[in-house]
Chain A
C-alpha cells in the first residue's frame, strides 16, 4: 500500500532549457572582449619593480604609455647593460626620447608616462629620462611600483 504513495504522479520534463545558453556565453564573451587589453609588446629589459605604500591606480589604460628602464635580458638568463625601451623598440640614442614622447603627446594630450624602472637601476639614467620627458612636455609621470605587503 505504501508503495503507491511514493509513485510518481506526474511526468514533468526534468530538463534545463539550454536554448539561451549560447546567448549567456556570448554575453560573457563580449564582456571579456571589451575589457581585454592584448599585450602587444615584448619587454626586452628586466624590470623588477620596487614596492611602495603611497600608490595610486591608473584607471584609464588608454592614456598610458610605457617606458621601461632596466638591464637588458640576454640569452641564457644573463643580463647586460642598462637600456631604455619605449613600446617595442630599445632606445638607442637618448635624444630620441623627447621626439617619440612629443609625438605621443600630440596624439594624446592627457598622456601619462608610466616609468617601469628596475629597482637596481641607478638614479642617473632615471634623471636623464626625466629631463627628456620635460623637454617633450610629457609632465605626467607615474613611477610604477607594486603594492607593499605589510608584515
Chain B
C-alpha cells in the first residue's frame, strides 16, 4: 500500500533561462527610449519676499541704482536713455565696479543694484535677453574676481571653496543685486 504513495519519477523543475537576455533587452530598449538625459537649463532667480502691508521697502540711493526699462515694443531704455541690448553688459560692469569714482554710477559693488522694469505688453523674449545680459555681466565680473584671487575662473573657485567650506568671498564682494521692479499700483 505504501508503494502507491511513492513518487513515481522526478521531473527536472527548471525555468528555461535562455530567453532571459531577450526579455532584459526589451526592457532595456524601452527605458533607453523613454529616458531623458538632458537637464533643465534656465536663468535662476530668487523672487523678493512678499511685502508686508505696513512696511515700505528700504530706500536705495539714486546713484546706486541702474535702471533698465524694457518698453512695450521691446526697446531698451538705460537710465531713461534709448539703448541697445548689447550695451547693457558693459554698462552694468561699469556701474557695479565703479567704487564711487564716477558720481553717476554706484558707490560700491555691495550697494549696486540693477533694476529691470517692464511694461505689461513687453515681449517675454526681450525681457529674457535683457536679464541674460545682466547675468552675463555678473558672471564675467565673478570670473574676473576669481582670477584676481588666483583661480582660473569662477567655477574653479567654487570647487575650491566647496572642499574647504570657506565663505564665498567673490559673491560677498560682488553681490548679484538684480531687482525685478514691483508692478505699478495702478
Contacts and interface: CB of A to CB of B under 8 A. Distances in A.
A57 B123 contact: no
Given A25-B25, A38-B34, A134 B49 contact: yes
B183 A131 contact: yes
Consensus secondary structure, chain B interface = mixed
Contacts of A126: 124, 127
Given A50-B129, A122-B122, A127-B118, A145 B25 contact: no
Main secondary structure of the interface of A (DSSP, over half): mixed
A96 interface: no
Contacts of A28: 28
B170 interface: no
A61 B35 contact: no
Contact of A114 (B42, B121, B183): B42
Given A131-B183, A134-B48, A144 B42 contact: yes
A59 interface: yes
A149 to B, nearest CB: 13
A122 B120 contact: yes
A124 B119 CA distance: 7
A28 B28 CA distance: 7
B43 A130 contact: no
B132 A137 contact: no
B45 interface: yes
B128 A52 contact: yes
B141 to A, nearest CB: 12
